[in-house]
Chains A and B, each alone.
Chain A
């Protein structure tokens, strides 16, 4: 699986959009980009995934660059409950294995 690079931490203000970057420059054509988050003392929670088109759901939006070498997870209106570690994971289609890195610790401040 392609490796991902994320900043170790970032802060954002409550009510503002949070833009979380992820670099996956070695991604292959059959690999998807997945995002999970882990709130303190809980198990990871699925957020969103995509292949090459931008995706949006009730939690977030995923923007994937045209060359697919990087992506951005957007939390449109961050709340204090969005404080968590966010993991960007690249996964081969049909292979359900997830390889977690260290993720980005996002702190939403009032």
Chain B
């Protein structure tokens, strides 16, 4: 079974530029999550999708961050414009509606904003 795929793995941009990250969850997983992990901290949930609907985006800075999951499969997270404090690893995870709800994480995208 293929795992959660993310791209790119690394991205360096200047502040005020825009950037997009892509995630393809495990096949059949209805729930998809985006997390932000700042160096030295645990991951923080940004947004949770159930199929193509948003379940929780309470921690998403909506003035600059946006996310979509149009067909209920893969998802894109965008930052526009980026700030220095957005430097972090962006993790995507997915889970099935059956089982214990364990989340399976991708390798993440490391973003550096200069």
CB of B45 within 8 A of CB of A99, answer yes
Q: Which of B48, B91, B101 contacts A44 (CB 8 A)?
A: B91
CB of B42 within 8 A of CB of A101, answer yes
Size category of the B interface is 20 to 34
For the complex, would chain B's binding face be called helix, strand, loop or mixed by DSSP majority?
A: loop
Cα A23 to Cα B48 in complex, Å, equals 27
**For window 38-89 of chain B, which residues contact chain A by CB distance below 8 Å?**
40-45, 48, 56
Residue B102 is within 8 A (CB to CB) of chain A in the complex: yes
Cα A85 to Cα B91 in complex, Å, equals 16
Cα A45 to Cα B101 in complex, Å, equals 13
Query: Which residues from chain B sit less than 8 Å from chain A, CB to CB?
Result: 4, 31, 40-45, 48, 56, 91, 93, 95, 100-108
26 pairs across A/B with beta carbons < 8 Å?
A34-B102, A42-B105, A42-B107, A42-B108, A43-B91, A43-B105, A43-B108, A44-B43, A44-B93, A45-B105, A46-B102, A46-B103, A46-B104, A85-B42, A91-B101, A96-B48, A96-B95, A96-B103, A97-B45, A97-B48, A97-B56, A98-B103, A100-B42, A101-B42, A102-B41, A102-B42
